[in-house]
Structure 1
Amino acid sequence: MILEEIKHPELKNHINMMYMHGENNNHEAIEKTEAIIKEYIQDKEFIISVEDNEPVKIPYANDGEYLVPIFTDKQEYENGMEYFRLNEMDENKEYAIEKLNYYKKLKEDPNFLGYIVNIARISYILNIAIL
Structure 2
Amino acid sequence: MKIEEIKHPELKNHINMIYMHSENQNQDAIDKTENEIREYIKDKEFIISVEDSKPVKIPYANDGEYLVPIFTDEAEYINGMQYFSLNVMDENKEYVIEKLDNFKKLKEDPNFLGYIVNIARVSYIINISLL
Whole-Å Cα distance in 2 between the matches of residues 90 and 124 of structure 1? 21
Q: Give RMSD over aligned pairs.
A: 0.5
CA-CA distance at 1:92 after TM superposition: 4.5
Matched residue, 1:32: 32
* Count of residues in Structure 1 that have an aligned counterpart in Structure 2: 131
Deviation above 3 Å: which 4+ runs of structure 1?
A: none
> Using the alignment, how far apart are the partners of 2:130 and 2:28 within structure 1?
15
Give 1:90 deviation, angstroms: 1.4
User: What is the TM-score of this pair, normalised by structure 1?
Assistant: 0.99
Does the residue aligned with 1:129 lie in a helix, a strand or coil?
helix
Q: C-alpha separation between the residues in 2 aligned to 1:4 and 1:128?
A: 27
Task: State the percentage of identical aligned residues.
Answer: 79
8 Å CA contact retained: 1:49, 1:92: no
Any conservation in 2 of the 1:56–1:92 contact (CA below 8 Å)? Answer: no
Aligned-partner SS, 1:98: strand
CA distance in 2 between partners of 1:2 and 1:68 (Å) = 21
Q: Which runs of 5+ in 1 are unaligned?
A: none
Write out aligned runs for 1:9-88 (5 A): 9-88=9-88
For the residue of structure 2 that corresponds to 1:49, the secondary structure is: strand
**Inter-partner Cα distance in structure 2 for 1:127 and 1:93:** 23
Q: Does 1:93 align with 2:93?
A: yes
1:36 Cα offset (Å): 0.1
Deviations 1:69-111 (A, max 9, x none): 0000000000000000001101153000000000000000000
Indicate the residue corresponding to 1:105 in structure 2: 105
Q: Distance in 2 between matches of 1:122 and 1:59?
A: 14
TM-score (norm: length of structure 2): 0.99
Deviation at 1:30, TM superposition (A): 0.1
Give me the whole-angstrom Cα distance separating, in 1, the residues matched to 2:30 and 2:77: 27
Q: Could you tell me how far apart the structure 1 residues matched to 2:76 and 2:52 are? A: 22
In structure 2, C-alpha distance between the alignment counterparts of 1:44 and 1:92, rounded to whole Å: 26
Distance 1:118 1:92 in 2: 19
Give the drift of 1:60. 0.2
Q: List alignment gaps of at least 5 residues for structure 2.
A: none
Q: Helix, strand or coil for the counterpart of 2:38?
A: helix
Aligned equivalents of 2:128 and 2:60: distance in 1?
15
